[in-house]
Chain A
């Protein structure tokens, strides 16, 4: 719809109004990549080393893959929702014939496009400097599966982020802290954003696979690296879909509750 196209356009302009913020955010991303890149290069100094089912090529592909996947999955503007709830700016949207979710989904998309294009440039530069051997997946079927998992990952993250932000309906001062704890720490770790989850003990991994977190980054990357195949892909797909359904319903439920609450406190 046209109104969301206009929002997309404005989001882009908005990001450019905060160029410095954006550039700094990218610099921080690169620093994190450097840390993990060297950590793993050091572990896999000898190209023949093979630990946790990775060799040098695959682990470095993991590190670079995380940079891209973070841009696609974790880039979002909906982090501002908590702020809008607590300072009352959300009022502007409630008064307009527009869907608040679609509004933020659009703004997230703009942010993803921008971050993705930057991360591609960064990867090219890092690639030229560090000259790692990367693993290229050529099986089209697998690439398609990765694509499907990525779409699910984007939806899952949107729901998780929105639920976290909606906590501001109940604790307006702490929306930011909740976000730090749940998104920046827990989600980041449990999705494999900091280290690959398969270095964890087997039972722990099994439990983790029934939560939504690994499907945000880790699972799509494993599929890409060819470490997960066949029946396990199907199982992942089912779990992922189930979580999309559960979280989507939760978002709607919490939103309705939150609006009543907002109204009861009269901010």
Chain B
């Protein structure tokens, strides 16, 4: 599997290189924007430059890792539409695993490693305690759990409605709201994107925790929340599968 993925990647090498360069450029544009903006304003929703940057880096870290892991989701629609999904179901490999993580994209590793280092560097500038750092790591992992749940939902929805491309784009646009600390949004929007569409828990809470702005109960609560969402998404996947098998017979 992975060797095939490697080869497939290299056959589209130029396209992927361009794509990667594009992502890097976007990252640096936003980075520059935050730096220049906070040079002028000194603070954003009460956060200083380094804190704002940490929000931004954490968002990118979780976003890039989940793109790396779940790239196959972007190729799910043709699979469903063409009936190729039947083949996936008939193979002795977990269909969810295959549809979710079957296409891990090596090229993302080139960005993930430096990004992780940079994120830890920015975090270290805030002089966090060991406890807060632990909270941070736990909540980043929790963010990835929520991201998986999102992608499982999208897959399930894809099976039921045959529609993937738009939902995944909307998902990406929504998470992009987490580029900046979610404190900039006014209620009721802030409440909605914190809990209803849990972007806040996913990308903003980790950064808050390392700044000591989250109580241990809040952290524990976020973890339970992440687990619950994953559970619900798996339920939904099972429901969608049942619907699929009964519809195609």
Contacts and interface: CB of A to CB of B under 8 A. Distances in A.
Direct contact between the two chains A and B in their complex (CB within 8 A) = yes
Interface of A: 20-21, 24, 27-28, 31-32, 34-35, 38-39, 41-43, 51-52, 171, 173-174, 176-178, 180-181, 184-186, 189, 194-195, 199-201
A171 B26 contact: no
A34 B199 CA distance: 15
A156 to B, nearest CB: 20
A41 B186 CA distance: 9
Interface in B171-195: 173-174, 176-177, 179-180, 183-186, 189
Interface in B38-66: 40-41, 44-45
B169 interface: yes
Interface of B: 12, 14-16, 18-19, 21-22, 25-26, 29-30, 32-33, 36-37, 40-41, 44-45, 163, 166, 169-170, 173-174, 176-177, 179-180, 183-186, 189
A171 B14 contact: yes
B169 A43 contact: no
Contact of A42 (B29, B36, B40, B45): B45
A184 B41 CA distance: 28
A171 B12 CA distance: 11
Contacts of B16: 177
B177 A31 contact: yes
Given A24-B170, A181-B21, A199 B26 contact: no
A194 B173 CA distance: 14
A187 to B, nearest CB: 11
A28 B170 CA distance: 7
Contacts of B25: 181, 185-186, 189
B199 to A, nearest CB: 11
B179 A35 contact: yes
Contact of B37 (A20, A184, A199): A199
Contacts of A34: 177, 189
B174 A185 contact: no
B40 A52 contact: yes
A189 B15 contact: no
B184 A42 contact: yes
Contact of A181 (B18, B169, B177): B18
A173 B16 CA distance: 11
Contacts of A21: 166
A201 B15 contact: no
Given A186-B25, A189-B26, A177 B14 contact: yes
29 contacts: A20-B166, A24-B169, A27-B170, A28-B169, A31-B173, A31-B176, A31-B177, A32-B173, A34-B177, A35-B177, A35-B179, A39-B44, A41-B186, A42-B44, A42-B184, A43-B37, A173-B12, A177-B22, A180-B18, A180-B22, A181-B18, A181-B19, A181-B22, A185-B22, A189-B25, A194-B29, A199-B33, A199-B40, A200-B32
Given A28-B170, A181-B18, A201-B36, 16 more contacts: A20-B166, A21-B166, A24-B169, A27-B170, A31-B170, A31-B174, A31-B177, A35-B180, A42-B45, A43-B44, A174-B14, A177-B16, A177-B19, A194-B33, A195-B37, A199-B36
Contacts of A35: 176-177, 179-180
